[in-house]
Structure 1
Amino acid sequence: MTRTWQITDITDAARARIATARLAAAYGVPPLERARLLSSLGAQLRLCLTKGGTWRLTLEAGTASPATAEVEAGQGVLHAVVTPSRDAAAAGQPPWRVTVPCPEAVPTADADVTPDDPAALAEALLGADEDTVLVLDRLTEQEHLVDFHREELQQTNQGVVALHAELDAAGRAQREAFAAERKARTEAENARRRLTFLADASAVLTASLDHHEIVRRLPELLVPEYARSVDVWLFDQDGDRPGPAHPAAAVVAARTGRPQYAAPHPGNLPGVDDQPPSALDPERPLFCIPLPTRQAPLGVVTLSPPGERWDPDDAVMLIELTRRASIAIDHAQRYQHNRDIAETLQRALLTELPAPPGLAMAARYLPATHGLNIGGDWYDAFRQPDGGVIAVVGDVTGHGLRAAVMMSQLRTALRAYAVDGGSPGRLLTRLHTFLHHLQPDLFATAVIARFHPDEPTLTWAAAGHPPPVLRTPDGRVQTLDAKPGAMLGIPLKQEIADHTVPLAPGSTLALYTDGLVERRALGIDPGIARLAETLGSFGPAALEADLEGAADGILSPLLSDSERDDDVCLLLCHLRGTR
């Protein structure tokens, strides 16, 4: 179906619009699409009348093609096309088109008849308003729907905003938690670093028993991480306080025993008193920490900061390290004092060996590498009134001053008993009785050898002591292990027997303590065997010419390790080749 109208004036346009409305209704075009068609057509016709000339309106019913975007392909459509006539002013311009969907319907014969009387035109005009009313009603519905969706969207937006606020708050809380965790982790790492440094530095300081070494190592430990410079000032033994060369804050720290901080601004360090800046260096902060002891400070450590100032936790650590350094220095000074006393006492107790005709002697005494360097080992040699020579090596159980004092008493008692004469066994028996009554809780071992120029024999006796080792002139070595007596001082009555062995010129006798031959892992027998082997390795000429060198030559292979848990005593007696 195709309909065409010529439009020249407003009446033609009105009639064409009315006819189009009737045809659209007859073809079943929906009211909304019909209203869109008529509104668009009316606007286009007004535009055409404004331009003037003759225009042609063509209305065609058909089927939609795939190129038609407004409706589905294959659906019934109604095409409206407005084109200018050839004599119109707008001739040549593209035609105006509009397409609306419609069901397959057949219009009546008079559907496109245009009425001429006013009543029919008015009715047609009112009919057009009905479509407009439908559009307005539909528009009202859409406005209500838009308002509903707008309200729903607003509520949704409020929920989203609230959710974003909650997420933002949660994010801030999470960031704060992460920051707190990082801070806690950093503080824990710094605390671990300080504790590790404190433990390592304490181990270094307490490893030495030389207070000069401790004072030297302290700056090496602190510079440059915890201090730019370190000055350690130790008081004199008489307690003199510093002169003008030391900062005033150091003087206050020495007098009060409290740490002092001298700087232009307060340090606010825990447990530290603030002082004005030092006159010696006003621009540099100083941290003066006393070296505390139970009685009075040993001195003052003065530090300058590695940066502008110290962290409070670092200051607490430095105070603790200084306290530990003070303990180490105090222990080292006490050890040095006691060691000096022990060495003086030991030198007083060691005998200057006699030089009887035909008999050479050499002795060595090495204290243990631990402790006060003093113990109960001793050697002695002296003449008896009948011309005989007594050589003795002994060992009092234990270490320290008590063992040394007991050793001195035994040495003095032996010399007193020997004045009255007596064989080695008799002398040891008297020493046993003496020690048992004098110190019931102390015990000792000893071996005594007696040389006499008129006797070609060696008389000896032992009480719980390692056996003597004798080297004969021909190089053979024998261990004098005849049955010895028990230890001196045990709660047992005993008579210690004498033993004799032939003694030819050129013979060498070795008396010693167990510290020379005994090792924890091996026992004493392997050590005695090594001693005998070493003594037998010397030639007769070497022993005759340099007995002192032979003594050193025996100690060297037997004491290869530098650490000794026990004292070592060796006494060599060499009978010269010509008597």
Structure 2
Amino acid sequence: MFRSGSADGGDELLQRLGALTARARELAEMQRSRVELAVALQHGMLPRDLPRPPGVRIAVGYMPANHGLNVGGDWYDAFPMSDGRIGISIGDVQGHNAQAAAFMGQVRVALRALASVTEDPGRLLGRTNDLLISLNADLFATCTFLRLDPATGVLECARAGHIPHIWATADGRSGIDDGEVGPPLGVMRGAEYPVACHRLTVGGVLVLVTDGVVEGPSLHIDDGLGQVRRLAEITAGASLGIDALVGGVMKLADTVGHEDDAAVLVIGHDVGVPWYPAPKLPPTPGGSSRGPGRTPSSGRSGPPGV
């Protein structure tokens, strides 16, 4: 003889399933709201306008990691400094959540604030690093900071654990800057950040990216940097313009096979706008494809003539 369940038992099961479904919907909606808030926080902290001094163009591309639960902390920034030069930064905060997005804002604001009292890129990263450590933050960030003199095209650069940048010239030369780099920001108090010098030439480009552009399950970082280098070569050699280069780099970011943030910032010289007389800098080693050499006396890199 078989027993059938009671109608009351079936109703109770349906009620439980209904309650679980409602709870799942509530949690999903809460998470969606958190992601939307973090993404809005990201976009709100990125600059709306970029400086455009005579002779220089800056173009950017940005793709947030807003798939599923991922919300990253990549950023870019460019702003006028008190000495008439342009401060430029790009970076990547550890982690993929709202905390990372908020920490990104702290780093970006710290760089802007300290740039008013510390213009040298190496010292600026050092002070920013010590400030972040004093805040007892649990996160760290990689960063590249540049100081560009729009009157001469001279770029002074310091890196805090960030991936190399890429340069290319209109006459077909290009390279990946593998110079000295300091530790990420927020890791080691008293860290030092070496400064390298470059010079942007007519038709040349300098490309800054975050690792979400060039590294992932489908692309090794060396291959990714090599592809960006080839895109920069083509753009500079054919005078295609930096907006086209940004578009090509962002298409590359779609192929890396992950859901990380992706940011790119390209600096170029407006063809037809001459520089003012530039100061003498150490000569570029002949035929180098890896960027500038380092002068023993100053510890700084000579310009590749980007």
TM-score when normalising by structure 2: 0.80
- SS of aligned partner of 1:538: helix
2:201 pairs with 1:463: no
Q: Deviation digits for residues 516-571 of structure 1, max 9, x if unmatched?
A: 11124654222211221222232555543xx333312221134226x533211111
| Root-mean-square deviation (Å) | 2.5
Residue equivalent to 2:124: 427
Indicate how the Cα distance of structure 1 residues 527 and 446 shifts in structure 2: closer, same or farther if over 3 A, else same.
same
Indicate how the Cα distance of structure 1 residues 549 and 522 shifts in structure 2: closer, same or farther if over 3 A, else same.
closer
Rg larger for: 1
Name the CA distance, whole Å, in 2 between partners of 1:541 and 1:523.
27
- 2:71·2:101 contact (CA, 8 Å) conserved in 1? yes
Q: CA deviation at 1:401?
A: 2.1
**Partner AA of 2:34 in structure 1:** N
2:99 pairs with 1:361: no
Picking from 540, 552, 568, the partner of 2:247 is 552
Residue equivalent to 1:408: 105
2:37 pairs with 1:341: yes
**Bigger relative contact order, structure 1 or 2, given CA contacts below 8 A and separation 6+?**
2
**Partner AA of 1:505 in structure 2:** V
Residue equivalent to 1:144: none
Name the CA distance, whole Å, in 1 between partners of 2:15 and 2:117.
66
Residue equivalent to 1:573: 267
Indicate how the Cα distance of structure 1 residues 410 and 486 shifts in structure 2: closer, same or farther if over 3 A, else same.
same
Residue equivalent to 1:481: 178
Ranges in structure 2 where 5+ consecutive residues have no aligned partner: 275-306
2:17 pairs with 1:269: no
Indicate how the Cα distance of structure 1 residues 320 and 536 shifts in structure 2: closer, same or farther if over 3 A, else same.
farther
Residue equivalent to 1:350: 46
- SS of aligned partner of 2:8: coil
Name the CA distance, whole Å, in 2 between partners of 1:323 and 1:542.
62
**Partner AA of 1:556 in structure 2:** K
Ranges in structure 1 where 5+ consecutive residues have no aligned partner: 1-179, 192-267, 272-311
Q: CA deviation at 1:378?
A: 0.8
Name the CA distance, whole Å, in 1 between partners of 2:24 and 2:234.
47
**Partner AA of 1:349 in structure 2:** M
Q: CA deviation at 1:493?
A: 2.3
Name the CA distance, whole Å, in 1 between partners of 2:211 and 2:76.
13
Q: Deviation digits for residues 112-159 of structure 1, max 9, x if unmatched?
A: xxxxxxxxxxxxxxxxxxxxxxxxxxxxxxxxxxxxxxxxxxxxxxxx
Name the CA distance, whole Å, in 1 between partners of 2:243 and 2:76.
15
2:209 pairs with 1:512: yes
Q: CA deviation at 1:318?
A: 3.8
Name the CA distance, whole Å, in 1 between partners of 2:179 and 2:126.
17
- 1:467·1:479 contact (CA, 8 Å) conserved in 2? yes
Provide the identity percentage: 35
Q: Deviation digits for residues 364-422 of structure 1, max 9, x if unmatched?
A: 22122434553221110001121111110011211222222221111111111112251
Residue equivalent to 1:323: 19
Picking from 220, 225, 229, the partner of 1:528 is 225
Picking from 148, 151, 162, the partner of 1:451 is 148
Residues 366-385 of structure 1 mapped to structure 2, 5 A cutoff: 366-372=63-69, 374-385=71-82
Name the CA distance, whole Å, in 2 between partners of 1:390 and 1:320.
59
Name the CA distance, whole Å, in 1 between partners of 2:43 and 2:151.
33
- SS of aligned partner of 1:375: coil
TM-score when normalising by structure 1: 0.44
**How many residues were matched structurally?**
272
**Partner AA of 2:188 in structure 1:** P
Indicate how the Cα distance of structure 1 residues 479 and 473 shifts in structure 2: closer, same or farther if over 3 A, else same.
same
- 1:343·1:373 contact (CA, 8 Å) conserved in 2? no
Q: CA deviation at 1:349?
A: 0.3
Q: CA deviation at 1:475?
A: 3.1
- SS of aligned partner of 2:206: strand
Q: CA deviation at 1:503?
A: 2.1
Residue equivalent to 1:109: none
- SS of aligned partner of 1:345: helix
Q: Deviation digits for residues 472-526 of structure 1, max 9, x if unmatched?
A: 1223221111011111122342221110123212111111111111124654222
Picking from 546, 550, 564, the partner of 2:258 is 564
**Partner AA of 2:80 in structure 1:** R
- SS of aligned partner of 2:131: helix
- SS of aligned partner of 1:451: strand
Indicate how the Cα distance of structure 1 residues 405 and 326 shifts in structure 2: closer, same or farther if over 3 A, else same.
same
Residues 85-96 of structure 1 mapped to structure 2, 5 A cutoff: none
Residue equivalent to 2:28: 332
- 2:46·2:75 contact (CA, 8 Å) conserved in 1? yes
Residues 381-400 of structure 1 mapped to structure 2, 5 A cutoff: 381-400=78-97
Name the CA distance, whole Å, in 1 between partners of 2:150 and 2:64.
33
**Partner AA of 2:190 in structure 1:** K
More helix by share: 1
**Partner AA of 1:526 in structure 2:** D
**Partner AA of 2:249 in structure 1:** I
- 2:205·2:236 contact (CA, 8 Å) conserved in 1? no
Residue equivalent to 2:196: 499
Name the CA distance, whole Å, in 2 between partners of 1:368 and 1:379.
15
- 1:384·1:421 contact (CA, 8 Å) conserved in 2? no
- SS of aligned partner of 2:202: coil
Residue equivalent to 1:137: none
Name the CA distance, whole Å, in 1 between partners of 2:121 and 2:214.
23
